[in-house]
């Protein structure tokens, strides 16, 4: 088990932040009416898994948990039989309740349920119970004792045992590498659906979290780490759900857009210190990682779209999707250049070799992506300089 958030964020050059004062939560009898922990189970169209998952969770907590608990089923706009099942479980299980939202979004469901809860520890886990429940007590104990502010399950730390397909394994590891490279985070697994937070920490962080969907977890953790809150990690046993509702490509693009938003606009509030200027080497590494990520996404989308739409249409769609997933500055300054260079490269290739192989097209596009990246750096520096100049002029006028 590890903790992060004790020192300054990596690469910032700031001194360690003083940790918030945490008081242990008083011990209460196991069946006390006021819960110590409120475990939220966010669901969308989970009529098959909801009842067995909640009943198994309830039985485990009743048999092994030393703290009073509540289970909250947070239904975010299900269209199947999920609401009826959730209502029946709330009637039959004394420690269960449910709430229904009219809009989709796991982050929206968690924000609503946690904001309405009066429990001193707030948690959530996925309804499929992919994470072994024996990790639940080690997850919440450091929060109850006052040792930590947030606790997360991790599938990527030593001691974790994970069963899942190679596709999801690669996606998960790549995502967390991108996080560490682009944002300099210290925690190891942002996406494991197994987390808990002290209520006072949640009250400070939730107003700052913008994302209402899958990026909610990552944004919460990044903000917590930048604020100097202590994050406790618990290696978990985890088995992939083959019937997962997560659509990998749209979710991955939304996550990349969220990373770009946080990277370029760190929150500036009383909770979070202003970000320090990064050294040139760090900025160069982050730019290179972002460029490589954009090129990979472009090539993967092109390969997927090419058989159905043709070369030029597939390229244009792939470039546009990647641009929408990235910062607005990239769209404004470099989208025309990217379309011109990649489309022109394909046109030149097909003129020289009309029957060029698919692999040759990908190699040519990779070279064009490199050229776009080299051109983008001065464009973005110029745009940043202009924005800074505008801010200085605005501030001078205000004075």
Q: Chain centroid to CA 194: how far? A: 13
For 52, the 3-state DSSP assignment is helix
Tokens read off for 362? 């990908």
Task: For the chain, list the strands marked E by DSSP.
Answer: 2-4, 37-43, 69-76, 96-101, 121-125, 150-154, 161-163, 194-198, 231-235, 237-239
**Known catalytic membership, residue 80:** no
Active-site hit among 75, 217, 255, 369? 217
5 vs 208: CA distance, rounded Å: 18
Nearest Cα to 77, choosing from 127, 43, 47, 49? 43
238 vs 187: CA distance, rounded Å: 18
Return left, alpha or beta for 42; rule: phi > 0 is left, psi -120 to 50 is alpha, else beta.
Answer: beta
Pairing of strands 96-101, 69-76: parallel
Tokens read off for 3? 């903790």
323 vs 368: CA distance, rounded Å: 15
Asked if 78 and 46 touch (Cβ cutoff 8 Å), the reply is yes
Helices (H) and strands (E) in the chain, counts: 12, 10
> Catalytic residue positions?
217
């Amino acid at each position: 088990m590890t903790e992060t958030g004790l020192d300054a964020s990596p690469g910032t050059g700031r001194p360690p932040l003083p940790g918030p004062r945490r008081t242990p939560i008083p011990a209460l009898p196991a069946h006390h009416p006021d819960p110590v922990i409120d475990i939220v189970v966010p669901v969308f169209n989970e009529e098959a898994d909801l009842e067995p998952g909640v009943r198994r969770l309830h039985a485990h907590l009743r048999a092994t948990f030393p703290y009073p608990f509540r289970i909250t089923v947070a239904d975010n706009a299900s269209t199947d039989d999920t609401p009826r099942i959730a209502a029946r479980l709330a009637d039959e299980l004394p420690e269960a309740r449910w709430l229904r939202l009219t809009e989709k979004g796991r982050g929206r469901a968690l924000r609503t349920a946690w904001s309405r809860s009066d429990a001193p520890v707030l948690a959530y886990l996925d309804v499929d119970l992919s994470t072994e429940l024996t990790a639940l007590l080690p997850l919440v104990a450091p929060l109850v004792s006052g040792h930590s502010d947030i606790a997360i399950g991790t599938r990527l730390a030593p001691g974790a045992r994970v069963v899942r397909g190679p596709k999801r394994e690669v996606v998960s590891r790549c995502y967390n590498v991108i996080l560490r490279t682009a944002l300099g985070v210290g925690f190891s697994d942002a996406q494991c659906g197994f987390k808990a937070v002290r209520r006072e920490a949640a009250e400070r962080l939730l107003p700052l979290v913008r994302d209402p969907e899958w990026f909610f977890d990552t944004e919460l953790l990044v903000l917590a780490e930048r604020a100097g809150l202590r994050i406790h990690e618990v290696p978990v046993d985890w088995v992939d759900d083959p019937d997962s509702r997560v659509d990998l490509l749209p979710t991955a693009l939304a996550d990349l857009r969220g990373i770009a938003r946080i990277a370029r606009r760190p929150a500036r509030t009383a909770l979070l210190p202003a970000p320090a200027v990064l050294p040139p080497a760090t900025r160069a590494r982050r730019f290179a990682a972002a460029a490589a990520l954009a090129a990979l996404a472009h090539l993967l989308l092109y390969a997927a779209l090419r058989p159905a739409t043709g070369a030029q249409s597939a390229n244009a769609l792939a470039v546009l999707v990647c641009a929408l997933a990235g910062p607005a500055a990239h769209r404004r300054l470099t989208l025309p250049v990217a379309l011109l260079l990649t489309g022109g490269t394909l046109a030149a290739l097909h003129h020289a070799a009309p029957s060029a192989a698919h692999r040759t097209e990908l190699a040519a596009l990779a070279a064009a992506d490199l050229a776009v990246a080299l051109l983008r750096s001065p464009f973005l520096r110029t745009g940043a300089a202009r924005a800074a100049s505008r801010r200085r002029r605005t501030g001078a006028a205000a004075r």
